[in-house]
Structure formats: C-alpha cells, structure tokens
Chain A
Amino acid sequence: MMKRDECFRILARHIKDEAVVATYSSAVDWVGVAPRELNYLSIGAMGLDSSHGLGLALGRPDKRVVVLQGDGSLLMNLGCLVTIGAIAPKNLVHFVAHNETYEANGGHPIPNRQVDFAGMAKSAGYAATYDFSDLRMFEQQIGHVLEQQGPVFATLHVEPTKPLQYDYPSLYDPKKREAFKKVWQA
C-alpha cells in the first residue's frame, strides 16, 4: 500500500504542461503538492472527472491530459472506461486512487474492495494498464507510464487518509476555471 500524497508528489515531478483533472480527496492532495493553472478541478458531479478529461483530450489532441480519479468516483461512471477505450485518445492518462473507501463521505467502504479496475480498463480497450502498490516501483515506472501512447490506465493502491480539509469554494473558484481555460486554449 502507498500513500496518495506520496504518489502525487512523485507524479508532480514529471508533470509539465499537461492538464491535470482531479476532484475531492485527489484534488485536495494534488493541489497541496502541485498548485498550478492547468489543474482542472471543477467537476460538478461525482464520477464525471474522467469524462471531463476525455473532453479535454479530444479538444486538444496536441496536449496531454492526466486524470486523477478516486475509486468511488470511477464506480459512479464505470461506463467511461468503455467510452474512453473505444475513442482511444492517445493523449489521456487515467489514474485511479484505490483506497477502497468513499473518503470524502465518511470513509465508508466501496461495495467491493477487491474490484480490479486495471483489469476492467484493459478489457474496455485501454492501450496500456498498470497496477501499482509499491511506491518504489511507481517511482521507477511513472516516467514510462506518462510517455505511453494512450489511453493509459493505472491503479494506485493507496491507504485511506485521515479526514482532509475540503475547501470547496477555493477548489471550485470560477476565477480558476477561467484561468485554466485561458492557458489551455493558448
């Protein structure tokens, strides 16, 4: 088991001009290690992070998009794996932080903690899939994962964390959305 913020700290060292889509606990941890204009945090409805990411990837095929989704969130939109697998955007890298809980909603377990997201993504047509539970292995391979032709999927097996502080007004600040749009369209 890894810690989500440690994974993100390693990931942040490899991020350049990619759009990073994140929500809820993943967004809090990501913004904590990598505050930047190209963070896309205003998802609006749980589960749609991956769909926003697909839209960004289709809209800017010349740029890369990284999605940081939670397991509970992906479970609310499992069909997105099939949609993304079929459309097959080469510029999309999709991570799911698998902590086996609805962390932002009281830490209750997801319906099946052993669900194999990477296996599902592979069956759905993702070009490459990964399963990480060892931080050293993740650190060794993350550069390769990000350079792969997409769509790429990686499960990060992480521990549930202590309750986070969710500053939603700041995360979903309309000024941040406008700043993102300006930079993303440049």
Chain B
Amino acid sequence: MDLPAKPAEAGPRKLEGSGIIAAIKASGIKFILSVPDITTSSGLLAPIAKDKDFELIRVCKEDECIGIGTGLAYSGKRSLTLIQHTGFLDSINAIRGVAVEYKQPICMMIGLLQHEPDRTPRESSRYGVRIVEPILEDMGIEHHLISLDADIQKIKPAIDRAYAESHPVVFLVGRSPL
C-alpha cells in the first residue's frame, strides 16, 4: 500500500493510456465496468470501448459495478471498475459491505477529477480529492497512485494479488492518460 502516495519521480512527467491498457490486459481483465470520468475519458475509456479484447459494461451508477464485479468474480472472471472519485465516494457503502467485509477482489481505477497532477492527492486543493486516500486507509483498502508511466508497473501485481488473496484494490489516476 502506498502510504502516503507520491507520484513516481523517475522518467518524463506523462502517463500513456496505452501502457495502462496493456497492463490491464496482462492482468487478465476482460470486463470493464464504467461510468464515464473526464480524467480517464479519452485516454482509457474511449480506446477500451473500441477494443475487442474487452467487454465494456456501461452502468448507470457506480455502485452497480461493485455488485457486477462480485458476480463476475464468483464466476471466475476478472473485471476492472473504471470510475471517478465522486462515484467512489457515492459507492462507499457498497465497497464497505461487499469488497471489504466480504473480502471480494473488486479492482477499481479511479480518476481524480480536477486534481493537480504534480501534487499528491493529499495536497490537492480539492477537498473531494484530499479525502480519498484517508478514506481508503481507514477502510484498509490497498491503493496505488498511477500518475506517471513509471507507476504503470504497479497495476498487474496488485490485480493478481487482489484475486489471489481476495481483497479490493484501488488505482488512483492522478493525471489524464494520453
């Protein structure tokens, strides 16, 4: 768990969506469950929607993803929930009840709306962004900041661990992927 999360220092200060998508595929993810998020809209959701390797499930409200992802996990299928931090905050009870208390491998990639990408989430001027990591830590949820290309290598091991140990994991996307 990143405590506190800091953007990786090495390498150019950019985040390639294609690298994230490759890591998601390498993790055995077939199903993407999503409500659109402007941070990840063009760099992740749009290419995923066109990618035949994925089955994109567009939902009406983010907490649906937690139930759908659990049903898929019980069926032996991996999924990734791609949402905005506002949707994460709205889904706290579902995440509490299903992912945490029932120890389900719910993998969430969460765009930090209006976050300043060269700050840590805790240093954000946005209240809604600042509170995300402390909430995750209070809930005991493993989380990783994905803000630079160097962070992408965290994705596959964390997803594999979530399914092997049956627990949730969160990736906070700190800048818009290119």
Q: A45-B93, A45-B97, A77-B63 are in contact. Are A58 and B58 (CB under 8 A)?
A: no
Asked if B74 and A180 sit within 8 Å, CB to CB, the answer is: yes
Task: Give complex CA distance A40, B10 in Å.
Answer: 47
Asked if B75 and A55 sit within 8 Å, CB to CB, the answer is: yes
Residues of B within 8 A of A87 (CB): 57
Q: Mark B71-89, 1 if CB is under 8 A from A, else 0.
A: 1111111010000000000
Question: Is A54 in the interface zone, CB < 8 Å from B?
Answer: yes
Question: Is A59 in the interface zone, CB < 8 Å from B?
Answer: yes
Interface of A is mostly: helix
Residues of A within 8 A of B59 (CB): 51, 79, 83
Task: Give complex CA distance A45, B60 in Å.
Answer: 17
Interface size class of B (residues with CB under 8 A): 20 to 34
Q: Which of A40, A47, A59, A86 contacts B72 (CB 8 A)?
A: A59
Task: Give complex CA distance A77, B63 in Å.
Answer: 9
Task: Give complex CA distance A151, B79 in Å.
Answer: 22
Asked if B75 and A56 sit within 8 Å, CB to CB, the answer is: yes
Q: Which of B31, B61, B68, B101 contacts A52 (CB 8 A)?
A: B68
Asked if A48 and B74 sit within 8 Å, CB to CB, the answer is: no
Question: Is B131 in the interface zone, CB < 8 Å from A?
Answer: no
Interface of B is mostly: helix
Query: Closest 9 A-B residue pairs measured CB to CB?
Result: A55-B71, A59-B75, A79-B60, A51-B67, A44-B97, A44-B98, A48-B67, A55-B68, A56-B71
Q: What are 17 A-B contacts with C-beta separation under 8 Å?
A: A44-B70, A44-B94, A44-B101, A45-B63, A45-B94, A45-B96, A48-B64, A51-B65, A52-B67, A52-B68, A55-B79, A56-B75, A58-B55, A58-B75, A77-B61, A83-B58, A172-B102
Task: Given contact pairs A48-B67, A86-B58, enumerate 20 new A-B contacts (beta carbons under 8 Å).
Answer: A44-B67, A44-B102, A45-B67, A45-B96, A50-B67, A55-B67, A55-B68, A55-B69, A55-B72, A56-B74, A58-B55, A58-B68, A59-B74, A77-B61, A77-B64, A82-B60, A83-B59, A83-B64, A172-B102, A185-B74
